[in-house]
Amino acid sequence: MRYLTFALAKGRLAKKSLEMFEKVGITCEEMKDKDTRKLIFVNEELKLKFFLAKAGDVPTYVEYGAADIGVVGKDTILEENRKLYEVLDLGFGKCRMCVCGPESARELLQHHEMIRVASKYPNIAKDYFYNKKHQTVEMIKLNGSVELAPIVNLSEVIVDIVETGSTLKENGLTVLEEICPLSARMVVNQVSMKMENERIMKLIKDLRYVTSL
């Protein structure tokens, strides 16, 4: 039996992913050690390997087959648009992709005016404004703390993830339009899906059962 390799998005999703895998008997004790500098973890008995990657890189590892399976947010899947199978909504990490800004920016969205949009997700933002709203915008790519942009007048609005809404609230911003709901998804390499079909289908079935509880 060959190893099945999992790429998990570093951060909030990784812990939840491991908790969910534990429920279906997939464990990796090594990975729980917070002080470790190791990058890859092995469960010899079950012939599994796990590694943590930057969320945005998980679809890349899976598309190229460096990982058979990935766990990553729907936001990253949409933004990266890689060739892979999205097989399961894991039901955690729920949040929304939204257009946000000060209340005063609401009318700029209604009149199809040329506005500046800052985002960590330029592809999602472009798709929304160009293909769904038919509004031409100037995209400004940022790498984090995107809520700053409308405050310091870098852009009129932002496209960003909203979970509790407290970051927006504390900065005097609000949700202006909702683009789509998001959550953690399991993705599978297209070749692995064929070559390791039985093991992967069993895993999907077990996880589907656990997520439905």
Q: Where does this chain bind ligand PRP (CB under 6 A)?
A: 120, 144-147, 160-167
Select 173 or 203, whichever has its Cβ closest to ligand PRP: 173
211: Cβ–Cβ under 8 A, 6 or more apart, which residues? 20, 88, 89, 90, 91
Could you tell me the CA-to-CA distances from 50 to 4, 39, 95, 143, 159 in Å, in that order? 9, 9, 25, 26, 32
Residue 44 CB, shortest distance to ligand PRP, in Å, is 34
Residue 158 CB, shortest distance to ligand PRP, in Å, is 9
Residue 25 CB, shortest distance to ligand PRP, in Å, is 31
Q: Is 112 left (phi over 0), alpha (psi -120 to 50) or beta?
A: left
Helix (H) or strand (E) holding 59: helix 58-64
Select 46 or 161, whichever has its Cβ closest to ligand PRP: 161
Residue 147 CB, shortest distance to ligand PRP, in Å, is 6
Neighbours of 97 (CB within 10 A): 23
Tokens read off for 81: 């648009």
Q: Which of 73, 30, 107, 71 is nearest to 181 (CA)?
A: 73
Residue 96 CB, shortest distance to ligand PRP, in Å, is 9
Report the C-alpha gap between 109 and 177 in whole angstroms. 9
Report the C-alpha gap between 77 and 84 in whole angstroms. 9
